[in-house]
Every structure is written in structure tokens, then in C-alpha cells.
Amino acid sequence: MDKTIIQTAFETLFGKTAQIYGIHHIGGGEINQNYKILSDFGVFFVKVQKIDGLPKLFEKEQLAIRIIRKTNSIAAVNPIGIVEVKNKKVFFLDFVESSPKSSNYWGDFGSAIAKMHQNSSNFFGFEEDNYLGTYLQKNKQANHWGSFFIKNRLMPAVKDAASKMLLGSNHLKSFEKFYELAEFIFTQEQPSLLHGNLWHHHVLTGLDGNAMLCNPSSYYGQREMDLAMTKMSSGFDKQFYEAYEAEFPLKADWEVRVDFCQMYYDLVNLNHYGLPYLSNIENRLNKWVK
């Protein structure tokens, strides 16, 4: 990492020269490189965007974080600001030191997510499109979840996969029938504020031992979408779901619809990572479409 980029970013963001004591690379992936920066201004988590073609990536993430924080329902990382240096976007956030989980971590976490989901809107969607990872996520507002889900989630992802020759004509025919089910299988509820990418790598443990959210892809949607995402990995304890249920009870048949929610995430992964995710999609189609 070019230290001058960080130095210039500090000066641009804070308006004066900072003394930087250390720049520690702490990983990153396809999108960003991540650093822990020690300075006389404090300790920061800094993301440096390393790929082009994702306009306002950090700005959209920052907007989602701020909306979640305003709910006062669950902690989320504190965004400091975004600057551009040498054609690189640099995103400053407070650094969260990893801490041991509290004794009731999972119960408190489930209850907090349920409280976040009780924040609603007059529409499904969001004020702007955003990203799920690197995938552009459409958020055109709608009054009916089934319609929003098909037009903004399933159809665009299927179209993209077909254009990449990852789905064939037989898949497209099956999806036409899948859409018919998806439009009406969900119980109509008020839109909920979602994290949008709620898997265990996007949850930190704050100094108080409680869960803290990061990397959201937020919009107002059917709350089962977040819960379905948690079930795509083994990282969530049963106490999480029990506490959620106690705070904001789900419909008794919600787990029946997990396949429909997860279909979207599998389509995004198919578009991003390719054919290894096709079998998941085919299994869901075969289960629901005759």
C-alpha cells in the first residue's frame, strides 16, 4: 500500500496533517483491500477500492450503515467518510477491536435484528439501487413484495445468467413457473428494513460483547430474506432464531419460503462465481416446478 495515499486521504478528510504510526494490512478480497490505521487522530478501519466499474460503492454502503444506526435497534460500524485519492476511493470507519461474545450474545442479537426489522416504509425497495457484493441490486419501489421480488431480484439475475450462458432454455422455462409461485407464496407484511447481506462474516463483536453489523446491502423488503441468508451458513445459533421469534413472531410456515429467498442469493453467486452454483438452483427449481 502506498502510504502517501493514506496520508493524503487523511488530510483531505480531516483538513489537516495526521501523524500515521502504522498501516497494517488486514485482508481484503476481490473488491477492496482493508487496513488498520494507527494515527494521532485515532485508530481506523480503512477500505481501499481496488476495482473499477462499481460507481458509488462506498457511498451506498455508508448510506445503509447510517440508516441502520438511526434505528437505534442494533449497533453498526461507525462510518467516518469517503475520499478519492489517485483515482482510488478510500473509506474510513471506526476500527472495531474484536472482543469475546457476551453470555447472551445470540439472544440479544436475534432480538436486535427483530427490532431492526420493525422499522418500516411505505414501499418495498430503497431510495437508490445498491450492491450485493459487486452485483448491482435494483431497488425500484413497489407496493407488493412478490412483484418487487420478481422484477427487482429474480428476473434481472436470471437474465444476467442467461446472457453469460450459465442458464439454458430449459432453466428459463422453469423460472417462468417459479415466478408464478414466487409472486404469491409470501405472506404480505409491511416492508422491513433489511441488512440485505446478513451472513456471519458481516457481523462483528463490539467491545460490549454484542453483535455489530457491517457491510450492509440494505433495502426495505420481506424480512424472511435476511433470515434465509443466515441459514446459508452454519454460523447462527438456535438462540438467535428463538429470540427473534419472541420479539417479532414469524408466520408459522416461513421456512417453507426459504428456498425462494435463497434462490436470489444463489443466482447472484452463479453470476459471480459461475457453474458451481448451478446445482443449487436446479435443485430448487426441481423441488418447486413440475
pLDDT of residue 37: 93
Backbone phi, psi, residue 23, to 5°: -125, 110
Considering the domain architecture, whether residues 116 and 86 belong to the same structural domain is answered as no
Asked if pLDDT for residue 262 goes beyond 90, the answer is yes
Asked if pLDDT for residue 284 goes beyond 70, the answer is yes
Distance of alpha carbon 230 from alpha carbon 279, whole angstroms:
20
Residues 6+ apart with CB under 8 A from 40: 18, 19, 21
Asked if pLDDT for residue 275 goes beyond 80, the answer is yes
Considering the domain architecture, whether residues 110 and 190 belong to the same structural domain is answered as yes
Distance of alpha carbon 33 from alpha carbon 124, whole angstroms:
33
Tell me whether strands 20-28 and 32-39 are parallel, antiparallel or unpaired: antiparallel
Considering the domain architecture, whether residues 164 and 268 belong to the same structural domain is answered as yes
Considering the domain architecture, whether residues 84 and 146 belong to the same structural domain is answered as no
Considering the domain architecture, whether residues 89 and 109 belong to the same structural domain is answered as no
Give the residue-averaged pLDDT of 257-262: 97
Considering the domain architecture, whether residues 76 and 157 belong to the same structural domain is answered as no
Asked if pLDDT for residue 1 goes beyond 80, the answer is no
- Amino acid (one-letter) located at 244: Y
Percentage of the residues of the chain whose pLDDT score is greater than 90: 83
Domain boundary among 65, 94, 123: 94
- What is the grid cell recorded at 169? 432454455
Provide the terminal-to-terminal Cα distance of the chain, rounded to the nearest Å: 54
Considering the domain architecture, whether residues 67 and 143 belong to the same structural domain is answered as no
Distance of alpha carbon 196 from alpha carbon 201, whole angstroms:
13
Give the residue-averaged pLDDT of 182-199: 96
Considering the domain architecture, whether residues 80 and 220 belong to the same structural domain is answered as no
Residue pair 166/274 in contact (Cβ under 8 Å)? The answer is yes
Considering the domain architecture, whether residues 63 and 132 belong to the same structural domain is answered as no
Q: What's the CATH number where 30 sits?
A: 3.30.200.20
Give the residue-averaged pLDDT of 249-277: 96
The vertex-222 CA angle with 175 and 257, nearest 5°, equals 50
Range of the domain at 10: 3-94
Residue pLDDT, tens place only, 152-182: 999 999 999 999 999 999 999 999 999 999 9
Number of domains in the chain: 2
Residue pair 157/164 in contact (Cβ under 8 Å)? The answer is no
Domain boundary among 45, 68, 94: 94
Average pLDDT, the chain: 94
Count of CB atoms situated within 10 Å of the CB of 143: 12
Asked if pLDDT for residue 11 goes beyond 80, the answer is yes
Domain boundary among 44, 60, 94: 94
Q: Is residue 99 part of a domain?
A: no
Considering the domain architecture, whether residues 38 and 120 belong to the same structural domain is answered as no
The larger pLDDT score, comparing residue 20 to residue 220, is at: 220
Q: What's the CATH number where 177 sits?
A: 3.90.1200.10
